[in-house]
Structure 1
Amino acid sequence: MKILISNDDGVYAPGLLALSQALSTIGEVVVVAPNEEQSGYASALSVSKPLHTHQLPSGFIAVNGSPADCVHLALHELYRDVDFDCVITGINSGANLGQDVMFSGTFGAALTAQLLGIPAIATSLVGGGVKNGGQESASDYQVAANEIVKLLTDTSILEFLKSLPYHVLNVNIPDMDSNSDIKGRKVTSLGHKQIAEPVRHMIDPRGRDAYWLSLRKCKNSKHKNERPLDSSAKSTNQKNVVLTSGMTDDQAVAAGYISLSPVRLHHTPAGALDKLLALDL
């Protein structure tokens, strides 16, 4: 198995190292990631500046661009002769739940791969925040990395993704001390929560107005605009996988489960087309 890995926390992030080490036990791994944190860049591409690469002693390739840049560059140029079986992004430090996937560089990098027809999975660790007083290490992501390996080896998830063009599997793993503490996996829809403080206004040291954007959610806010899974969904015989109706990603991880959300983009719903055609345009 040949695997391309990227992220949005940067090439030196411990989650990236943990993911690379774990996946190296089941396949041939290549890492191309931003040379610094690029959170919130979604699937942005750098088309107004040149990109430069630098290979680290670890073999990882650092790029002065966005997460999507890294995947785009890797697939079209750096490793254009390699047929990758999948692209895995992360492990993100913190959740990528609900509407946040639209802003996430972790998700955007995976989306870039899927637009090119390669199965893609975006992975995130939920609940730990900045660990060990800001001194994170790869070991803090080991449990999550093990679960990603099991997802690839114990299930037919890659074959599933191959059959669904323009779909990215968004995976959120609860931060647990051991793999035995994780209750299993649940297939979920994306939730939706209100943002607690979308913009914080402040005055910088030079007396200028400054604004800090935030996606931090309100605690105990009600979910809005959620869409449950098809009510016909039934339990499968796949080990540790339970299809549920109406459970969202944030609800699943809060209950101790790994959340698996198939997200489809590049899609124009037929119903929306019909309504638009009915207008007097």
Structure 2
Amino acid sequence: MRFLISNDDGVYAPGLLALSQALSIIGEVVVVAPNDEQSGYASALSVSRPLHTHQLPSGFVAVNGSPADCVYLAIHELYRDTDFDCVITGINSGANLGQDVMFSGTFGAALTAQLSGIPAIATSLVGGGVKSGGQESASDYQVAAHEIVKLLTETSILEMLKSLPYHVLNVNIPDVQHADDIKGRKITSLGHKQAAQPVRHMIDPRGRDAYWLSLRKGKNERPLETSIDAVQAKQDVMTDYQAVAAGYVSLSPVRLHHTPTAALERLSTLAL
């Protein structure tokens, strides 16, 4: 198997290294990732400035652009003659649950691959110790990386993704010390939590107003409806929040580039 991997935490992120090392056991791996952290860039593409690349001693290719830039550039130019079996992004330092996928550079890079017809998986490590715990190393991500390898080798997930155009599999893995602490895998729906404090206002050292945007969530959660005619999830289907809280790897299929038929019918009744 041939894998293209990228991320939004930057080319030096330990989660990227752990993912590359784990996938190298089962296939060929190409890494193209941003020079520095690009969290929150979603699927933004740089169309008003040129991109530049440089190769690190590790063989990883660094790009002065967004996560989506990296995947787009890799697929259409740097490795245009390579047929990738899957694009996998991450392992993100922190959760990408619920509506956060809309802002996530990890998810946006995977979406860019899927729009080019390549099966795509976005991966994240959930846990309070991630990012806030100081210095990280690839070893902090080893359990999560091995869970991704097991998902690819123990299931037919890749074949299933090939039959689901415009779908990205959003994977969130609990942050545990040992693989035995993971209870299994659950197919989940996206949950929804309101941001506890969407914007934090402060005064900077020069006396100017400054604003920090935040996605930190409150406690209340409900299923996220993705279309006007969304059917309420079955009672036995957990949300992604519920699954990781219970110790499961959450696998959320997320469909993009879709216009719901029922929405078209309802809007067509308007007098325009």
Quick check: TM above 0.5?
yes
Q: Which one-letter code corresponds to 1:171 in the other structure?
A: V
Distance 1:205 1:131 in 2: 26
Distance 1:133 1:222 in 2: 26
| Match runs of 1:86-97 below 5 Å | 86-97=86-97
Find the counterpart in structure 2 of residue 239 from structure 1: none
For the Cα contact (< 8 Å) 2:93–2:131, is it kept in 1? no
The offset of 1:222, in angstroms, is: 3.7
Distance 1:21 1:228 in 2: 40
The offset of 1:221, in angstroms, is: 1.6
Aligned residue pairs: how many? 268
Find the counterpart in structure 1 of residue 254 from structure 2: 263
Find the counterpart in structure 2 of residue 238 from structure 1: none
Q: Does 1:108 align with 2:108?
A: yes
For the Cα contact (< 8 Å) 1:229–1:245, is it kept in 2? no
CA deviation profile, 1:137-195 (whole Å, cap 9, x unmatched): 00000000000000000000000000010000000000011111100000000000010
Q: Which one-letter code corresponds to 1:261 in the other structure?
A: S
For the Cα contact (< 8 Å) 1:229–1:246, is it kept in 2? no
Instruction: Tell me the secondary structure at the aligned position of residue 211 of structure 1.
Output: strand
The offset of 1:26, in angstroms, is: 0.1
Distance 1:45 1:84 in 2: 21
CA 161–14 in structure 1, closer or farther in 2 if over 3 Å, else same: same
Unaligned runs of 5+ in 1: 232-243
The offset of 1:105, in angstroms, is: 0.1
Find the counterpart in structure 2 of residue 223 from structure 1: 222
Distance 2:233 2:191 in 1: 15
For the Cα contact (< 8 Å) 1:4–1:30, is it kept in 2? yes
Q: Does 1:183 align with 2:174?
A: no
The offset of 1:107, in angstroms, is: 0.1
CA 16–228 in structure 1, closer or farther in 2 if over 3 Å, else same: farther
Instruction: Tell me the secondary structure at the aligned position of residue 215 of structure 1.
Output: coil
| TM-score of the superposed pair, with normalisation by structure 1 | 0.92
Instruction: Tell me the secondary structure at the aligned position of residue 8 of structure 2.
Output: coil
Runs of 4+ deviating beyond 3 Å? 128-133, 224-231
Unaligned runs of 5+ in 2: none
Distance 1:103 1:254 in 2: 22
Q: Pairwise CA RMSD of aligned residues?
A: 1.4
Q: Which one-letter code corresponds to 2:265 in the other structure?
A: D
Distance 2:198 2:233 in 1: 32
| TM-score of the superposed pair, with normalisation by structure 2 | 0.96
Distance 2:221 2:82 in 1: 46
Find the counterpart in structure 1 of residue 49 from structure 2: 49
Find the counterpart in structure 1 of residue 238 from structure 2: 247
Find the counterpart in structure 2 of residue 235 from structure 1: none
Q: Does 1:152 align with 2:152?
A: yes
Instruction: Tell me the secondary structure at the aligned position of residue 263 of structure 1.
Output: strand
